[in-house]
A and B are shown apart, each in its own frame.
Chain A
Protein backbone atom coordinates (compact mmCIF):
# COMPACT_ATOMS: atom_id res chain seq x y z
CA UNK A 1 0.00 0.00 0.00
CA UNK A 2 1.06 3.55 -0.62
CA UNK A 3 2.78 5.48 2.09
CA UNK A 4 1.78 8.90 0.86
CA UNK A 5 -0.49 10.53 -1.67
CA UNK A 6 0.51 14.12 -2.34
CA UNK A 7 -1.42 16.68 -4.35
CA UNK A 8 0.79 18.28 -6.99
CA UNK A 9 -1.72 20.65 -8.59
CA UNK A 10 -5.39 21.23 -9.20
CA UNK A 11 -6.67 23.00 -12.30
CA UNK A 12 -10.10 24.56 -12.62
CA UNK A 13 -11.09 25.71 -16.08
CA UNK A 14 -12.12 29.34 -16.30
CA UNK A 15 -14.94 31.14 -18.05
CA UNK A 16 -13.50 30.86 -21.54
CA UNK A 17 -13.14 27.08 -21.42
CA UNK A 18 -9.94 25.28 -22.33
CA UNK A 19 -8.95 23.00 -25.19
CA UNK A 20 -6.79 20.96 -22.84
CA UNK A 21 -5.46 20.65 -19.32
CA UNK A 22 -1.72 20.08 -19.18
CA UNK A 23 0.36 19.03 -16.20
CA UNK A 24 4.03 19.71 -16.90
CA UNK A 25 7.34 19.27 -15.06
CA UNK A 26 5.88 16.48 -12.96
CA UNK A 27 8.19 15.73 -10.01
CA UNK A 28 9.99 12.40 -10.33
CA UNK A 29 9.81 11.82 -6.61
CA UNK A 30 7.04 9.24 -6.51
CA UNK A 31 6.22 5.78 -7.76
CA UNK A 32 2.71 6.20 -9.21
CA UNK A 33 0.50 9.01 -10.50
CA UNK A 34 -3.19 9.57 -9.93
CA UNK A 35 -5.37 12.04 -11.80
CA UNK A 36 -8.86 12.74 -10.53
CA UNK A 37 -10.93 14.71 -12.99
CA UNK A 38 -14.38 16.19 -13.29
CA UNK A 39 -15.04 17.31 -16.84
CA UNK A 40 -17.69 18.56 -19.22
CA UNK A 41 -17.46 19.13 -22.99
CA UNK A 42 -19.53 18.37 -26.08
CA UNK A 43 -19.05 14.57 -26.02
CA UNK A 44 -18.26 11.90 -23.45
CA UNK A 45 -14.78 10.94 -24.68
CA UNK A 46 -11.55 12.32 -23.26
CA UNK A 47 -8.02 11.80 -24.57
CA UNK A 48 -4.94 11.27 -22.42
CA UNK A 49 -1.40 11.67 -23.73
CA UNK A 50 2.02 11.63 -22.11
CA UNK A 51 5.14 13.71 -22.73
CA UNK A 52 3.54 15.40 -25.76
CA UNK A 53 3.82 12.11 -27.62
CA UNK A 54 1.26 12.26 -30.43
CA UNK A 55 2.56 9.21 -32.24
CA UNK A 56 0.61 5.99 -32.72
CA UNK A 57 2.01 4.64 -29.47
CA UNK A 58 -1.11 4.04 -27.41
CA UNK A 59 -3.50 1.12 -27.16
CA UNK A 60 -6.39 0.28 -24.91
CA UNK A 61 -9.19 -2.12 -24.08
CA UNK A 62 -12.51 -0.96 -22.68
CA UNK A 63 -15.47 -2.42 -20.86
CA UNK A 64 -18.43 -0.07 -20.95
CA UNK A 65 -22.08 0.26 -20.10
CA UNK A 66 -24.59 2.80 -21.35
CA UNK A 67 -27.42 2.19 -18.94
CA UNK A 68 -29.07 -0.35 -21.23
CA UNK A 69 -26.29 -2.27 -22.93
CA UNK A 70 -22.81 -3.47 -22.11
CA UNK A 71 -19.97 -3.95 -24.55
CA UNK A 72 -16.25 -3.99 -24.94
CA UNK A 73 -13.87 -2.72 -27.55
CA UNK A 74 -10.22 -2.18 -28.15
CA UNK A 75 -7.97 0.09 -30.15
CA UNK A 76 -4.32 0.03 -31.04
CA UNK A 77 -1.85 2.38 -32.71
CA UNK A 78 -3.71 5.36 -31.35
CA UNK A 79 -2.32 8.85 -30.70
CA UNK A 80 -3.87 8.86 -27.23
CA UNK A 81 -5.67 6.75 -24.66
CA UNK A 82 -9.34 7.56 -24.94
CA UNK A 83 -11.58 7.16 -21.93
CA UNK A 84 -15.07 7.96 -20.67
CA UNK A 85 -14.70 10.82 -18.26
CA UNK A 86 -16.69 13.88 -19.20
CA UNK A 87 -20.31 14.88 -19.46
CA UNK A 88 -21.64 15.98 -22.82
CA UNK A 89 -23.19 19.39 -23.15
CA UNK A 90 -26.46 17.66 -24.05
CA UNK A 91 -26.57 16.23 -20.54
CA UNK A 92 -28.31 17.89 -17.60
CA UNK A 93 -26.92 21.38 -17.08
CA UNK A 94 -24.11 21.87 -14.61
CA UNK A 95 -23.28 18.19 -14.34
CA UNK A 96 -19.82 16.78 -14.86
CA UNK A 97 -18.40 13.37 -15.67
CA UNK A 98 -15.76 11.88 -13.41
CA UNK A 99 -12.73 9.73 -13.92
CA UNK A 100 -9.93 8.34 -11.81
CA UNK A 101 -6.72 7.67 -13.70
CA UNK A 102 -4.00 5.50 -12.17
CA UNK A 103 -0.52 5.30 -13.69
CA UNK A 104 1.87 2.96 -11.88
CA UNK A 105 5.66 3.19 -12.17
CA UNK A 106 5.65 6.46 -14.05
CA UNK A 107 9.39 6.99 -13.69
CA UNK A 108 10.30 3.55 -15.03
CA UNK A 109 12.15 2.91 -18.27
CA UNK A 110 9.53 0.47 -19.50
CA UNK A 111 6.21 0.99 -21.27
CA UNK A 112 3.58 2.58 -19.04
CA UNK A 113 0.23 1.05 -18.23
CA UNK A 114 -2.76 3.11 -17.17
CA UNK A 115 -6.13 2.14 -15.74
CA UNK A 116 -9.07 4.49 -15.87
CA UNK A 117 -12.43 4.26 -14.15
CA UNK A 118 -14.88 6.81 -15.53
CA UNK A 119 -18.55 7.67 -15.44
CA UNK A 120 -20.89 10.29 -16.84
CA UNK A 121 -23.70 11.88 -14.92
CA UNK A 122 -27.05 12.45 -16.55
CA UNK A 123 -30.45 12.38 -14.98
CA UNK A 124 -31.72 10.10 -17.73
CA UNK A 125 -31.88 6.46 -18.70
CA UNK A 126 -28.62 6.48 -20.56
CA UNK A 127 -25.40 7.38 -18.88
CA UNK A 128 -22.02 5.90 -19.58
CA UNK A 129 -19.51 4.16 -17.42
CA UNK A 130 -16.28 2.67 -18.57
CA UNK A 131 -13.20 0.83 -17.45
CA UNK A 132 -10.20 1.39 -19.65
CA UNK A 133 -6.90 -0.43 -19.55
CA UNK A 134 -4.37 1.50 -21.57
CA UNK A 135 -0.76 1.21 -22.59
CA UNK A 136 1.67 3.87 -23.67
CA UNK A 137 4.60 2.36 -25.55
CA UNK A 138 7.00 4.93 -24.24
CA UNK A 139 10.02 4.15 -22.13
CA UNK A 140 10.82 7.64 -20.91
CA UNK A 141 9.67 8.67 -17.47
CA UNK A 142 6.41 10.57 -17.58
CA UNK A 143 7.16 14.25 -17.09
CA UNK A 144 3.95 15.70 -18.47
CA UNK A 145 0.43 14.63 -19.29
CA UNK A 146 -2.42 16.18 -21.19
CA UNK A 147 -6.18 15.81 -20.98
CA UNK A 148 -8.21 16.93 -23.99
CA UNK A 149 -11.73 16.38 -25.22
CA UNK A 150 -11.99 13.85 -28.02
CA UNK A 151 -13.99 16.27 -30.11
CA UNK A 152 -13.11 19.69 -31.44
CA UNK A 153 -14.35 21.48 -28.38
CA UNK A 154 -13.31 22.95 -25.06
CA UNK A 155 -13.65 21.72 -21.52
CA UNK A 156 -16.41 23.74 -19.94
CA UNK A 157 -15.94 26.21 -17.12
CA UNK A 158 -15.54 24.58 -13.70
CA UNK A 159 -14.11 21.40 -15.17
CA UNK A 160 -11.32 20.33 -12.84
CA UNK A 161 -8.38 17.96 -12.76
CA UNK A 162 -6.06 17.17 -9.88
CA UNK A 163 -2.70 15.41 -10.13
CA UNK A 164 -1.40 13.39 -7.21
CA UNK A 165 1.85 11.56 -6.65
CA UNK A 166 1.81 8.25 -4.85
CA UNK A 167 5.02 7.40 -3.04
CA UNK A 168 5.42 3.76 -2.11
CA UNK A 169 9.18 3.88 -1.73
CA UNK A 170 9.00 3.66 2.03
CA UNK A 171 6.25 1.09 2.15
CA UNK A 172 6.74 -1.84 4.46
CA UNK A 173 4.77 -4.99 4.88
CA UNK A 174 4.77 -8.69 4.37
CA UNK A 175 6.65 -10.10 1.39
CA UNK A 176 4.70 -12.67 -0.57
CA UNK A 177 7.11 -15.23 -1.93
Chain B
Protein backbone atom coordinates (compact mmCIF):
# COMPACT_ATOMS: atom_id res chain seq x y z
CA UNK B 1 0.00 0.00 0.00
CA UNK B 2 1.42 3.33 -1.06
CA UNK B 3 1.87 5.91 1.66
CA UNK B 4 -0.07 9.10 1.03
CA UNK B 5 2.24 11.99 1.89
CA UNK B 6 0.55 14.88 3.59
CA UNK B 7 1.40 18.33 4.88
CA UNK B 8 -0.11 20.32 7.70
CA UNK B 9 -1.22 23.73 6.49
CA UNK B 10 -2.54 26.51 8.65
CA UNK B 11 -3.91 29.78 7.33
CA UNK B 12 -2.75 32.85 9.22
CA UNK B 13 -5.92 34.74 8.45
CA UNK B 14 -4.76 37.07 5.68
CA UNK B 15 -6.50 35.05 2.99
CA UNK B 16 -8.75 36.73 0.40
CA UNK B 17 -11.42 35.62 -0.09
CA UNK B 18 -11.68 34.17 3.38
CA UNK B 19 -11.04 30.44 3.44
CA UNK B 20 -13.29 29.86 6.43
CA UNK B 21 -10.60 27.73 8.05
CA UNK B 22 -8.24 30.42 9.31
CA UNK B 23 -6.17 29.22 12.25
CA UNK B 24 -7.32 25.61 11.85
CA UNK B 25 -4.56 23.19 10.77
CA UNK B 26 -5.57 21.29 7.64
CA UNK B 27 -4.04 17.99 6.56
CA UNK B 28 -3.59 18.09 2.79
CA UNK B 29 -2.04 15.47 0.47
CA UNK B 30 1.10 16.58 -1.36
CA UNK B 31 0.74 17.25 -5.06
CA UNK B 32 2.89 15.41 -7.58
CA UNK B 33 4.90 18.60 -7.99
CA UNK B 34 5.50 18.86 -4.24
CA UNK B 35 6.57 15.22 -4.05
CA UNK B 36 9.03 15.78 -6.89
CA UNK B 37 10.40 18.91 -5.19
CA UNK B 38 10.75 17.01 -1.93
CA UNK B 39 12.79 14.32 -3.65
CA UNK B 40 14.96 16.90 -5.40
CA UNK B 41 15.56 18.71 -2.12
CA UNK B 42 16.59 15.47 -0.40
CA UNK B 43 19.09 14.72 -3.15
CA UNK B 44 20.47 18.26 -3.00
CA UNK B 45 20.75 18.05 0.77
CA UNK B 46 22.64 14.74 0.60
CA UNK B 47 25.03 16.20 -1.96
CA UNK B 48 25.62 19.29 0.15
CA UNK B 49 26.20 17.16 3.25
CA UNK B 50 28.76 15.10 1.34
CA UNK B 51 30.62 18.28 0.40
CA UNK B 52 30.61 19.53 4.00
CA UNK B 53 31.79 16.17 5.33
CA UNK B 54 34.55 15.94 2.71
CA UNK B 55 35.79 19.42 3.60
CA UNK B 56 35.79 18.54 7.30
CA UNK B 57 37.66 15.28 6.65
CA UNK B 58 40.27 17.07 4.52
CA UNK B 59 40.75 19.68 7.22
CA UNK B 60 41.18 17.00 9.91
CA UNK B 61 43.65 15.13 7.73
CA UNK B 62 45.68 18.29 7.12
CA UNK B 63 45.71 19.03 10.83
CA UNK B 64 46.95 15.54 11.70
CA UNK B 65 49.62 15.78 9.03
CA UNK B 66 50.79 19.16 10.32
CA UNK B 67 50.96 17.85 13.88
CA UNK B 68 53.00 14.85 12.76
CA UNK B 69 55.45 17.12 10.95
CA UNK B 70 55.79 19.34 13.99
CA UNK B 71 56.48 16.27 16.13
CA UNK B 72 59.23 15.21 13.69
CA UNK B 73 60.77 18.65 14.13
CA UNK B 74 61.06 17.90 17.83
CA UNK B 75 58.08 19.72 19.29
CA UNK B 76 56.53 18.03 22.31
CA UNK B 77 52.78 17.31 22.42
CA UNK B 78 52.39 20.18 24.90
CA UNK B 79 54.19 22.54 22.56
CA UNK B 80 52.02 21.44 19.63
CA UNK B 81 48.91 21.91 21.75
CA UNK B 82 50.06 25.40 22.67
CA UNK B 83 50.00 26.35 18.98
CA UNK B 84 46.30 25.56 18.61
Contacts and interface: CB of A to CB of B under 8 A. Distances in A.
A22 B10 contact: yes
A67 interface: no
A171 to B, nearest CB: 22
Interface of A: 8-9, 11-14, 16, 18-28, 45, 47, 54, 71, 73, 75, 78-80, 82, 143, 146, 148, 150-152, 154, 163
Interface in B1-54: 5-15, 19, 22-23, 25, 27, 30, 34, 37-42, 44-45, 48-49, 52
Given A75-B48, A78-B48, A152-B42, A18 B12 contact: no
Contacts of B22: 25
B44 A21 contact: no
Given A18-B6, A19-B30, A27 B42 contact: no
Interface residues on B, range: 20 to 34
Contacts of A163: 12
Q: Nearest 8 pairs between A and B by C-beta? A: A25-B15, A150-B45, A20-B7, A25-B14, A22-B9, A9-B10, A26-B12, A27-B14
A87 B50 CA distance: 20
Nearest to A64: B52
Contact of A26 (B5, B14, B23): B14
